[in-house]
Amino acid sequence: MTRPTDNTDRPGAFRLDWVDVAKGLCIVLVVLMHATLGVEKATGTESGLHAFIEWARPFRMPDFFLISGLFLAARIDRPWRSYLDTKVVHFAYFYVLWLTIQFGMKAPGMVTENGATATALDYFTSFVVPFGTLWFIYLLAIYFVVAKLLTPVPKLVVLAGAAALHVFAPESGVFIVDEFTNRFVFFYSGYALAPMVFALAERMRAQPHTLLAAALVVWAAVNAAGVQSGLALTRGPDLLFSYVGIGAVIAFAVLITGRQAGRMLAYCGRNSIAIYLAFTVFMGPARIVALKLTGGEWTTAVALLSTFAGVTGALALAWLVKDTRAGFLFTRPAMFRLAPRRADAAAQHRPAAA
């Protein structure tokens, strides 16, 4: 099978394109998961998509975190002030902004049910306990700080420690602590193993596409068996299923990069932060309307429609506000940036030593 003759034939472009495709696939899977669970909660019944979102569970968020760490090596040695601006303040800005937006949408109902004081307390508690779907970017900011603090430690030592945390750390009952110990190994793998990940993608690219497709079919069956048996969701063995699943996502991204489906997913990947921040604004109302129109039936169709509304609604909003006064929804204004000190700026632009 011939490979598409577009810019993916240039190694540098391919290296970015498959990452965007993989990231786009992950964000769509995340929206699909929330849409499906939302419909199931509203109707009290499982939809036809329930088995699929369980099937994707071993690799969906692990791959998202690994991709988030892939290009960290190019930035981790920056001065602290610059690093914190791009890796902490950046996410903090969007977290606070979209926490306020999403909370504001739910506040009227919360006030009716719990009262104004309890609702206000819930809002401020969300600065410590991540709110709703925004926990991902909250945790990313923490991961970036921890990764930089650990730079004096050999990467393999940190990676082994992160894997041990994943397998052996007890459940504390504190959401952010448990998520940290559970997911850090995947984020740090993206940073520590980035050269291996990119090399793997290049090797896959060199293989016949029919071979990749056949391997994906076999993996899909094995992953399904692992989920069905519970082995893929058990601490310890789940690491193997997660990393193999990540490899499968890479293979799938390599397979469709440059094709129409690949270009669509790559666009989602390049705008994944916009989708992640805003999809609930469109998904929720679409679900409510669709459930009313169908009388609570056709749950699978409603979940798919809600997913489509969440993804396309967020993308449309990002496109509409671009280069307008409302652009602050997805682009951090200069007033919320940390201006680099002169010494830091000079260090960033100083030629590297030979």
- Among 20-34, 159-173, 179-193, 335-349, the minimum mean pLDDT is found in 335-349
Residue 348 is assigned to a structural domain of this protein = no
Q: Which amino acid does the sequence have at 25?
A: L
Residue 118 is assigned to a structural domain of this protein = yes
Please, how many CA atoms are within 13 Å of residue 196, restricted to the half-sphere of its CB?
Answer: 9
Residue 37 is assigned to a structural domain of this protein = yes
pLDDT confidence tier of residue 12, bands split at 50, 70 and 90? low
Region 119-140: mean pLDDT is 91
Indicate if the pLDDT at residue 349 is higher than 50.
no
Alpha-carbon span 62 to 273, nearest angstrom:
17
Question: CB–CB of 185/147 below 8 Å?
Answer: no
Number of domains in the chain: 1
pLDDT of residue 340: 65
Region 219-233: mean pLDDT is 97
Region 106-126: mean pLDDT is 89
Residue 314 is assigned to a structural domain of this protein = yes
Residue 352 is assigned to a structural domain of this protein = no
Residue 43 is assigned to a structural domain of this protein = yes
Average pLDDT, rounded, for the chain: 90
Place of tokens 């930089």: 148
How many residues belong to the chain?
Answer: 354
Question: CB–CB of 25/249 below 8 Å?
Answer: yes
Q: Which amino acid does the sequence have at 295?
A: G
Cβ-proximal residues to 50 (8 Å cutoff; 6+ apart), any chain: 36, 40
Indicate if the pLDDT at residue 1 is higher than 70.
no
Indicate if the pLDDT at residue 93 is higher than 50.
yes
pLDDT confidence tier of residue 9, bands split at 50, 70 and 90? very low
Indicate if the pLDDT at residue 324 is higher than 80.
yes
Residue 23 is assigned to a structural domain of this protein = yes
Region 299-321: mean pLDDT is 97
Question: CB–CB of 18/257 below 8 Å?
Answer: yes
Q: Which domain holds residue 161?
A: 7-339
How many helices (DSSP H) and strands (DSSP E) are in the chain?
16, 0
Residue 290 is assigned to a structural domain of this protein = yes
pLDDT of residue 15: 58
Indicate if the pLDDT at residue 233 is higher than 90.
yes
pLDDT confidence tier of residue 113, bands split at 50, 70 and 90? confident
Positive or negative torsion for Cα 147, 59, 40, 289: positive
